[in-house]
Amino acid sequence: TRTAAVIPAAGRGVRLGPGAPKALRALNGTPMLIHAVRAMAASRAVSLVIVVAPPDGTPEVKTLLDAHALPERTDFLVVPGGESRQESVKQGLDALPPGYDIVLVHDAARPLVPVDTVDAVIEAVRDGAPAVVPALPLADTVKEVEPADAPGTPEPVVATPERARLRAVQTPQGFHRETLVRAHETVTGEVTDDASMVERLGLGVVVVPGHEEAFKVTRPLDLVLAEAVLARRRL
């Protein structure tokens, strides 16, 4: 079996504030995307990484990948992304050569996921799960609300799901290739992760333990945290 990783990196990163596309912003001097690619290539099982670049940034991303040392056993492809994360993942899947039967989908915005988490996801797919997501229990209690139209308006609470049964999901999410391709062909409508498309096909999705360091860099404070994690690793 061969495993490939698709990295959607075509988002603008609006919540992070003004500047370059999120994946190209530096963490301790190295673009977030390069950290994310290295995190996938760190797994001995991953022999191909497909980066889905901002549509107008494909040459720049190619240059970037050429400029950074990556393991020799790993091949790379760069393809342009789409309007939504979902479309970007689809573009990556369309570029996947034959022979790869396990596919990981990993957000460029989770640059620090440890290799043990990547390997645990691959292992669970190899063990037969059609879709696998790394996830962590929640620290916060979560409430479902009736969203207000105007920002700042108090929102009525609809329900409080039992916290012990909730998980915050991360990436890489792992799939049997056929399953993910079929999900992208049949499921329409907005989704925020790939596994939920497989759930809609009625197939079993399982959760394995995620890792604190697989957090998503979304807001400015996350950049501070990511740089602190990197500094600690270098000690």
Closer to ligand C5P by Cβ: residue 11 or 172 = 11
Min separation Cβ 61 and ligand C5P, Å: 11
Q: What's the Cα-to-Cα distance from 14 to each of 19, 57, 149, 166, 171, rounded to whole Å? A: 9, 17, 20, 27, 20
Encode 190-202 in three state secondary structure: CCCCCHHHHHHCC
Closer to ligand C5P by Cβ: residue 106 or 176 = 106
Cross-strand partners of 30: 27
- What's the chain's Rg over C-alpha atoms? 18
Min separation Cβ 156 and ligand C5P, Å: 26
Min separation Cβ 216 and ligand C5P, Å: 6
Min separation Cβ 137 and ligand C5P, Å: 21
* CA distance between the termini of the chain: 36
What phi-psi label fits residue 171: left (phi over 0), alpha (psi between -120 and 50 degrees) or beta?
Answer: beta
Cross-strand partners of 103: 4, 175
Closer to ligand C5P by Cβ: residue 44 or 219 = 219
Closer to ligand C5P by Cβ: residue 101 or 225 = 225
Closer to ligand C5P by Cβ: residue 88 or 173 = 88
Closer to ligand C5P by Cβ: residue 58 or 123 = 58
Rounded-to-integer distance, Cα 136 and Cα 127, Å: 21
**Footprint of ligand C5P (CB under 6 A):** 8-11, 22-23, 52, 81-85, 88, 107-109, 216, 218
* Nearest-CB residue for ligand C5P: 11
Min separation Cβ 132 and ligand C5P, Å: 18
| Burial of 164 per CB tally in 10 Å (0-12, 13-18, 19+) | exposed
Min separation Cβ 72 and ligand C5P, Å: 26
Min separation Cβ 57 and ligand C5P, Å: 11
Closer to ligand C5P by Cβ: residue 53 or 124 = 53
Residue 50, helix vs strand vs coil: strand
| Closest CA relative to residue 96, chosen from 79, 74, 71, 115 | 79
